[in-house]
Homo-oligomer: A and B are copies of this chain.
Amino acid sequence: MRKKAPTSQDVARLAGVSQSTVSYVLTGSRPISEATRARVEDAIEKLGYHPNSGARTLRSQRSGVIGLMVPEAESDDGVLMVFIGAIAREARRYGYDILLVTAQEGAQGIRRVVRTGVCEALILMELGRHDERVAPVIESGLPFVTIGKPDEFPQGSVVDLDFEMLGGMIVERAVEEQCDRLLLFGEPGRKRSRNDVARFLAGVEDAASEEGLEVVLDAVPLADVPDQALRLTLPNQRTALFGITGVRQVLFAMAATGALVDDTRLFIALSGEDLVDVSPLLASVPQLDPRRIEISELAVQELVRLLQVEGAGPRVTLVEPRWLEG
């Protein structure tokens, strides 16, 4: 048997004040004497009162809900879950809830959550280059933040990893580690069209030409990894191996061929995927932290700023990668 939730009317009655006073206590939009505030808060506590979301939304035009546009997860995608969890938690810290909008719904879905007023702001993840969902977002006029830097985006704020710096950092590290060559896997060459990959490669190339480091792209096409893993290293050289995606496949193949053993000839560094689930052994491989939690939290904070600070304009925030040593 579901009993009706108490209303502010009930609270008012119990506290012996008018209904509007209850409202003012809640919103704090008007000074209230200590005495009555206490009485009202008592009554709220006693009744277990929570303001009705529908009514509040209807009246104030603010739903307290942020729409999160999530990409279609292809098979297991743990990375995504890290973002989503962090976003949801951070949003709650500011009193907002997260509503999922799946990529599958497309532009139509955006239009729906916007027009119905379910969401008062949006966070967009993994936008394509010319994503059909961008138009309705901009048209809606709602504040939004994208995680992942699109090519151009003057209308909403952007939070992303500084991929260019990431490229510079791995080059720098390779040099420090006495390496002559840097092998990049995870198809960075072929996926150059992606904004983040392009920025990463730009960072690599800039730094490499400055340091005189040889860079080999797509040294290990993921499909052929098993065959090629042993050929990665050259005699009398030390080689740095770095990748952001496909890390597990590459390491697995290398483990199978025994290539992981010789660290006089091979320096491995990684980014992007959690490796402890692959093997505790890899805990000692230096990793460039892609800082997904920080990025998620910043995205929420930025959105809250756009929502709450009068006249706040969009801006771009790039988060610096960090070395995590085993």
Contact flag A54-B98 (CB < 8 Å), given A82-B76, A111-B48 = no
Within 8 A of B (CB), among A98-132: 98-100, 102, 104-105, 109, 111-113, 115-118
Q: Which of A35-43, A153-161, A278-286 contacts B (4 or more CB under 8 A)?
A: A278-286
Contact flag A277-B255 (CB < 8 Å), given A54-B63, A76-B79, A78-B76 = no
In the complex, A253 Cα to B82 Cα: how many Å?
26
Instruction: Tell me which residues across on chain B come within 8 A of A84, comparing CB atoms.
Output: 81, 84, 100
Instruction: Tell me which residues across on chain B come within 8 A of A73, comparing CB atoms.
Output: 78, 81-82, 85
Give the most central of A72, A223, A252: most B CB within 10 Å.
A252
Smallest Cβ-Cβ distance to A91: which chain B residue: B100
Asked if A82 contacts B75 (CB within 8 A), the reply is yes
Instruction: Tell me which residues across on chain B come within 8 A of A1, comparing CB atoms.
Output: 141
**Count class of interface residues, chain A:** 35 or more
Asked if B260 contacts A248 (CB within 8 A), the reply is no
User: Cβ of A92 < 8 Å from any Cβ of B?
Assistant: yes
Set B2, B81, B111, B255: member contacting A255, Cβ < 8 A: B255
Instruction: Tell me which residues across on chain B come within 8 A of A61, comparing CB atoms.
Output: 54
Asked if B76 contacts A115 (CB within 8 A), the reply is no
Asked if A98 contacts B100 (CB within 8 A), the reply is yes
In the complex, A141 Cα to B2 Cα: how many Å?
5
Within 8 A of B (CB), among A247-289: 248-249, 251-253, 255-256, 258, 260, 273-274, 276-281
Instruction: Tell me which residues across on chain B come within 8 A of A276, comparing CB atoms.
Output: 75
Give the most central of A92, A99, A100: most B CB within 10 Å.
A100
Asked if A252 contacts B273 (CB within 8 A), the reply is no
Instruction: Tell me which residues across on chain B come within 8 A of A274, comparing CB atoms.
Output: 75-76
5 pairs, A vs B, C-beta closer than 8 Å: A50-B112, A75-B276, A77-B78, A249-B280, A251-B252
Tell me the A residues contacting B by CB distance below 8 Å: 1-3, 5, 48-59, 61, 63, 65, 68, 70, 72-73, 75-82, 84-85, 88-89, 92, 97-100, 102, 104-105, 109, 111-113, 115-118, 140-142, 223, 225-226, 246, 248-249, 251-253, 255-256, 258, 260, 273-274, 276-281
